[in-house]
Amino acid sequence: EVDLKEKASLQEKAAWEELQEGTEQAVAVPELLKKLDRPNEINLYYCGGLELL
């Protein structure tokens, strides 16, 4: 369990670093969510579809 938490922490740190660097892969999902944003729906609505991609 400790290894899983450590792995998740390292993955999160790597993701934040990629986002701050502005790599294409890191900014693709936030940009896509901005484009799909609808007033009456939350962004989590699209997470299932994004997982399939």
Both structure tokens of 39: 């007033």
For the full predicted model, state whether its pTM sits above 0.85.
Answer: no
Report angle CA 28, 7, 21 to the nearest 5 degrees.
Answer: 35
Query: What pLDDT sits at residue 3?
Result: 85
**Residue 27 confidence (pLDDT):** 74
Classified as helix, coil or strand, 24 is: helix
The model's pLDDT over 5-53, given as tens digits with 9 standing for 90+, comes to: 888 888 888 888 887 887 777 778 777 777 777 777 766 666 666 666 6
> Which position has the token pair 């693709």?
28
Task: For residue 46, give both structure tokens.
Answer: 């699209």
